[in-house]
Structure 1
Amino acid sequence: MRLFGTDGIRGEVGKYPLTVENILKLAKASSLVLKKKNSISRVVINKDTRLSNYMFEPALASGFISMGINVVLVGPLPTPALTILSKSLRADFSVMITASHNPYTDNGLKFFSSNGIKITPEEERKIEDNFFNYDFDKFKIKQANYGKAIRLKDAIGRYSEALKRSADKDLDYNNLKVVLDCANGASYKVAPEVLFEMGIDLITTGDKPNGTNINFKCGSLFPQKASKLVSKRKSDIGICLDGDGDRVIVIDEKGSVITGEELIYIITNHYLKNKKLKKGSTVVTNEIANYGLDIALKKKGIKLKRVKVGDKFILQEIQKNKYLFGGEPSGHFIFKDDILIGDGMTTAIKILSILLIEGKKLSELRKGIDLFEVLEINQRIDKEKFFQNEQSIYRKLNLLLKNQKLFFNIRPSGTEPLLRVNLQYLRRNIKLTDLKKIENKIRNTISNAC
């Protein structure tokens, strides 16, 4: 049985596996795998602003302490803060307690290595094996060897200094008007402070977390409020983060949302102009990115490499082939030489710099890419039945879709009991009535099987 999905462990609080008892057990199980020999035995625990973190943070800490590991508490801070804190604190590993963009009723765990990179699938499987099979009653440790816990007072300062290194020292950010939406999440304090210190004319929303309003009608999934503020205030840009601060959605000066693909296009164009990229170079995205991006980048002489959904796969491809950057439609971006890996605010600061260097509005910079229409079907499934009938479901859906004039991708969600079917098409190639019939057939095929 699997605990880990595409991005750590995630689920509804109070239901398996997101109970206090299981969080404690997961701390013990992960300790056996991730604790290094002859190290100082240290783990860093970060969190976002969910109410349930008042339970899960001490449960995790207790589990690690009982295994002889010292605990450093640093949250609430964005997930990418662990990139630098894990290294500077010489931690064996680190953990982020978050369900990312999900509502407060969900929570989860993301595990990172001593280098601040997500742990490997093999390490995930070992943790699962320990969780299900190891008899922790037989684990013996002297009381004098229990770990201790401290809260790092300057964690936010260390992270904010790393963020500010993303800014260009030769640029004057004082004339930029920005709307920032922190999603009532992990960035609520540090993100406004950093932009203020950069001299930006700033209005902030989603910066008053109460434990239950994280991602609620705000942030990267709900940019409407920030969009209205941008238009009303005549701002240059809107920046919308998610609950754990690792993704960003940007709004142009007209109040229109810039898609992840459009941001990839804008950044690529800028890097070509400034010779950070040359023709023939490769940019990385995921398998559900809009195919309009392929066409737009091909015209610029840039190749597009697609990988599985998940920022860890973008990172792996960049590290393996030394590509400059990559991104996902959801707003995850990774740059090869960044101190902070996959950080929403780092990406936002890069976009602010591009605005100043190019001397153009975002609405102008996004021109040149024509996106396909997208229909995203998320059908709820019974996971056990799905895995029993998985091959049959894929076969039937492939037969249904392969002769249609559209691109498609089928994948189970790694965080929710959903089967996701992504359809992309040009309006001139398919009637909307036919598309609706296809959608109904897809839903019926899935629901009849699971």
Structure 2
Amino acid sequence: MYKQTNNFKLFGTDGIRGVANQYPMQPHIIVELGKAMGTILSQQAPPHTVPKVVIGRDTRLSGAMIEMALTAGLLATGVEVLLIGVLPTPGISFITRNMRASAGVVISASHNPFYDNGIKIFGSNGFKISDETEAEIERMVKEENLRPYLVQRERIGKSSRIEDTNGRYIVYVKRTFPLEYKLDGVRIVLDTANGAAYKVAPAIFSELGAEVIQIDNTPDGTNINAECGALFPHVISDAVRTYRADVGISLDGDADRLLMVDENGDVVNGDHLLGISAFHMKKKGRLRNNTLVVTHMSNYGLEKKMLENDINVVRVDVGDRVVVEEMRRLNANLGGEQSGHIIHLDHTTTGDGCIAALCTLGLMIETGQKMSELNRLVEDVPQKQINVRVGNKTGFDQIKGYPELIQRIESELSGQGRVLVRYSGTEPLVRILVEGNDQYQIDQFAEEIADLLRKELC
């Protein structure tokens, strides 16, 4: 029980995240988290059964420390722990289901720098756990003395390392690619961001016949996402041009996010990937309920193209977990984010960069089109995004001059654009997005908002 942490929220919009060895990513907190999680799983388990928890991680330096602390807490409450080592986030979701585990844990801070780390928890069905379960875990860590939940010595949990999970995941991903298709003759530049997919991703694409040129594929614990991967598109763009490749595939540190590049080095972001898949899935009658789920950050150009083709577009708050929840509610099978979280619910329960890439490569083969031709399907409207680092997260309506500024900008846009300002759920940032018909105008509007928020919040 850590009453001194009661003023700090443990779970954010996507699990727990923070700087390694600072709250909440400290070993003693993680041990308590393991105890709380193990206690809940034991209470939910059928009589005379032992819950199993899969734990996997990415390549960052602090991963082993957190893995050991979490394992200790789970074992102390009688849970069996299966350690699978480095594997992409979607791979851990798959292994959780494949091993019939009670839960799966990903130790990763996704696209963040190496000095950050985080914890995401999947249920036995491979979907991220509910807000209610997160809240109960957080309550127990903050408010309860967990020592009474420790099991007797003969019931302490066992841990073991599972050695063949890479192979299982590779086969699983390849099965999403039609058997009649091959990638023979396709030259791919692959950027794994020195992260969790550095072993499995090259195997997936090369085993399907592609010529794979690997970059950013030598993790050392500190170079994950370091000027590489999906957040740095110029890297993969330059490499595609240099090697005269047919396509570039860029993943983030835990490989649940994808960015692609066409043969000219032009970026194919999440909006375009979603639009390409939705358009062709509808033509084939495979777009369930004729619906695409995106977030408020997706470009209006995507929505416009979908509406032109009688595809319903549903917008939700930012976060792949929020997207998945809405997809399940609407019985939709395609959704995602502009940032590159692409969810094909027919194949997976969470964003999977490798599966999303294969779905797009399959469309290249099916249509006989180059990536650049597919990319032209969606035409973006001008958009400007600015992130402002803040010292506090004051309510926007309480910021002097902010409501009046937004009202003026929206009036000047005259219904031909939109403004979206929100706080990041995982970082001390405010994210600003402005869309409209005139790039110069929306750049000015975004800078006005950013200047005001820097003045008031920094």
Q: Same fold (TM over 0.5)?
A: yes
CA shift for structure 1 position 275: 3.0
- 2:428 pairs with one of 405, 417, 420: 417
CA shift for structure 1 position 395: 4.2
Task: For residues 351-396 of structure 1, give each alpha carbon's deviation from its aligned partner in whole angstroms, at most 9, with x where no partner exists.
Answer: 111111110111111224221222212222234xx25x45424745
CA shift for structure 1 position 16: 1.1
Which residue in 2 is equivalent to 1:263? 273
Which residue in 1 is equivalent to 2:318? 309
Which residue in 2 is equivalent to 1:10? 17
Which residue in 2 is equivalent to 1:134? 144
Give yes or no for contact 2:276–2:377 (8 Å, CA) kept in 1: no
- 2:342 pairs with one of 333, 341, 347: 333
Give me the whole-angstrom Cα distance separating, in 1, the residues matched to 2:432 and 2:105: 31
Which residue in 1 is equivalent to 2:5? none
Pair 1:421–1:438, CA change in 2 (3 A)? closer
Give me the whole-angstrom Cα distance separating, in 1, the residues matched to 2:260 and 2:272: 10
Give yes or no for contact 2:176–2:355 (8 Å, CA) kept in 1: yes
Give me the whole-angstrom Cα distance separating, in 2, the residues matched to 1:29 and 1:145: 17
Q: What is the one-letter code of the residue matched to 1:334?
A: I
Which residue in 2 is equivalent to 1:351? 360
- Single out whichever of 418-427 and 133-142 deviates more from structure 2: 133-142
Which residue in 1 is equivalent to 2:30? 23
Pair 1:203–1:316, CA change in 2 (3 A)? same
Which residue in 2 is equivalent to 1:285? 294
Query: Is 1:402 aligned to 2:442, yes or no?
Result: no
- Single out whichever of 204-213 and 293-302 deviates more from structure 2: 293-302
Query: Is 1:243 aligned to 2:249, yes or no?
Result: no
The alignment partner of 2:237 has SS state of helix
- Single out whichever of 141-150 and 335-344 deviates more from structure 2: 335-344
CA shift for structure 1 position 245: 0.8
CA shift for structure 1 position 202: 1.1
Give me the whole-angstrom Cα distance separating, in 2, the residues matched to 1:319 and 1:18: 31
Give me the whole-angstrom Cα distance separating, in 2, the residues matched to 1:419 and 1:233: 38
Structure 1 gaps of 5+ residues are none
The alignment partner of 1:403 has SS state of helix
The alignment partner of 1:431 has SS state of helix
Which residue in 2 is equivalent to 1:194? 204
Give yes or no for contact 1:42–1:91 (8 Å, CA) kept in 2: yes
Query: Is 1:427 aligned to 2:435, yes or no?
Result: no
The alignment partner of 2:117 has SS state of strand
Q: What is the one-letter code of the residue matched to 2:303?
A: D
Q: What is the one-letter code of the residue matched to 1:45?
A: I
- 1:40 pairs with one of 42, 50, 53: 50
Count of aligned pairs between the two proteins: 443
Which residue in 2 is equivalent to 1:379? 388
5 Å-filtered alignment, 1:174-193, equals: 174-193=184-203
Give yes or no for contact 1:227–1:251 (8 Å, CA) kept in 2: yes
CA shift for structure 1 position 155: 1.0
Pair 1:37–1:211, CA change in 2 (3 A)? same
Structure 2 gaps of 5+ residues are 1-7
Q: What is the one-letter code of the residue matched to 1:191?
A: A
Query: Is 1:219 aligned to 2:229, yes or no?
Result: yes
Q: What is the one-letter code of the residue matched to 1:198?
A: L
The alignment partner of 1:74 has SS state of strand
CA shift for structure 1 position 272: 3.0
CA shift for structure 1 position 288: 1.0
Give me the whole-angstrom Cα distance separating, in 1, the residues matched to 2:320 and 2:338: 11
Q: What is the one-letter code of the residue matched to 1:164?
A: K
Give me the whole-angstrom Cα distance separating, in 2, the residues matched to 1:26 and 1:298: 45
CA shift for structure 1 position 30: 2.1
Give yes or no for contact 1:79–1:245 (8 Å, CA) kept in 2: yes
